[in-house]
Chain A
């Protein structure tokens, strides 16, 4: 436990301390870490947080419940819809509001699309960090743009969707939208094949990624690692299956698991997860029922957000965001604003083991290990 604490001020004259960030092209934003090196080998690493600490919790505690929704978009800004999902789910738990079936299906469809967007962007960035400068990212972003176009058509915004509401969703999917999604879903595997042909068995990628940044299943569980990083270590834990929230228990999908828990496994688990997400999307699109998209009870809340006062109590809701378990802890005191609002951010907690994964590796590997954890600073620092 002690090795994570203080960087040992060794007497060795050979140790070199390097500062990464907060302005560094491969720290995915304003992440900062100080790395201690012996030659090229890492012997100590200390992350420093807070460069994007924008007081999400403080601001949310001064806002009505409905007005927090657009702020959750800005937590993990690569996939705003998953954050919306988690928040809506928590408030529904807190106030005991049920969601119509069609709205649940729409939620699942949108959240899975967001997962695809996230994973494809992450893989692109990780390869960017590996040195495949910009080419895979260009392909990844080409596909991402198509999905974002759809998001814009449905939700009104490319990134900050603000689409889910407590008790439903904002806008119904038209037949045209569904056809658009179906088109993307049916065309995506071809892109993935091409992407994989380019990457999966590439010798350079294998050499750089295999046996790098190994994380054992036991450490991962103890350190609270979730999401693809945990599953790459071989732990079968996916909240979509475990909790079966929303309508996820109606779909048939597998949970891809890694074996070693190295960077390559994390990369490959993400690709497999995209395939599973496409499977869910296929099933959801074919079985989406007609009906309401908003609970009648919460309709007045949309028009007068200030009048929505959940009963005194607390709720902890969690969803499987593409980064891991995204949890919301909300305490209501019966007023329009929450008394306490806390976000359990997967990107932050997944960084607990960063040092352990990096110790003994080369300095260039630290970058890809960080890239493979998949952090978004908006969520890490909030």
Chain B
């Protein structure tokens, strides 16, 4: 059973007049991310919709902005989904956390932070979910530069040499030239790509 988006939008607007909403296809875009928790709380507790179950939280990179997408369902009324989305800029990617409203957001928000770098403010455990803490960069953003695993870098050479492991000369030299140029060994497009 589907819930009509217009209906939800109208209901939110009558009860929460300060919240600015916009319809983006079948979803509701909340213009100001700060409004997200109150909208979610309203939808969760409004007797008409009772969207008590947050199914999925995920991020997405649209080059100019980042997006956080929420899919809400109602377990009590067996209806859904209602899609909410908020948009933030890459420099200031801060979205209020939904964990106080729905606990199911806990691990998924950590995942979105890990892969897209969206900071969920008020999250009780704001760490990376999959990668280790020292990992730099957000790998699912479209501009993430992945390392080239076949070219050693200066840090690798130093690590190996302190442990007394011989490194072939050409690898050493390559690492040095990379270091001198101030570059990382990054996976690049091939010289003669296949069609």
Contact = CB atoms under 8 A, between A and B. Distances in A.
24 contacts: A1-B103, A5-B125, A49-B107, A49-B129, A50-B131, A58-B139, A221-B53, A222-B102, A224-B55, A237-B78, A242-B78, A314-B25, A316-B56, A316-B83, A318-B55, A325-B55, A327-B56, A329-B56, A340-B60, A344-B56, A344-B108, A349-B104, A352-B103, A381-B130
Interface string B40-57: 000000000000111110
A225 B103 CA distance: 10
Given A1-B124, A57-B115, A316-B81, A223 B103 contact: yes
Interface of B: 25, 27, 52-56, 58, 60-61, 69, 71, 75, 78, 81, 83, 99-100, 102-108, 111, 115, 124-125, 128-132, 139-140
Nearest to A325: B55
Nearest to B26: A314
Among B78, B130, B131, B139: residue with most chain A CB under 10 A: B130
Contacts of B115: 57
Contacts of B129: 49-50
A166 interface: no
B178 to A, nearest CB: 24
Interface in A7-24: none
A174 interface: no
Contacts of B58: 329, 340, 342, 344
Q: How large is the interface on A (under 10, 10 to 19, 20 to 34, 35 or more residues)?
A: 35 or more
Contacts of B140: 57-58, 61
Contacts of B107: 49, 348-349, 351-352
Contacts of B108: 344, 348-349
Contacts of B132: 50
Given A53-B131, A58-B140, A329 B71 contact: yes
Contacts of B78: 237, 242
Contacts of B52: 221-222
A4 interface: yes
B124 A50 contact: no
A169 interface: no
Contacts of B61: 340
A4 B37 CA distance: 20
Point out which of B52, B58, B102 has the most chain A C-beta atoms below 10 A from its C-beta.
Answer: B58
Contacts, number: 94
B75 A327 contact: no
Contacts of B83: 316
A156 interface: no
A25 interface: no
Contacts of A49: 107, 129-130
Between A50, A318, A349, the greatest number of chain B beta carbons within 10 A of the residue's beta carbon is seen for A349
A55 interface: yes
A58 to B, nearest CB: 6
Contacts of B60: 331, 339-340, 342
B71 A1 contact: no
A342 B75 contact: no
Contact of B55 (A55, A327, A351): A327
Contacts of A58: 139-140
Contacts of B131: 50, 53
A316 B75 CA distance: 17
B99 A1 contact: yes
A214 interface: no
A219 B75 CA distance: 13
Contacts of B27: 314
Interface in A124-148: none
A95 B61 CA distance: 22
Interface string A18-62: 000000000000000000000000000000011001010110010
B39 to A, nearest CB: 17
Interface string A338-360: 01101010001101110000000
A344 B54 CA distance: 11
A1 B83 CA distance: 25
Given A224-B105, A349-B108, 11 more contacts: A1-B99, A1-B100, A4-B106, A5-B124, A50-B130, A57-B140, A222-B103, A224-B104, A242-B78, A342-B56, A342-B58
A235 interface: yes
A313 interface: yes
Contacts of B111: 348
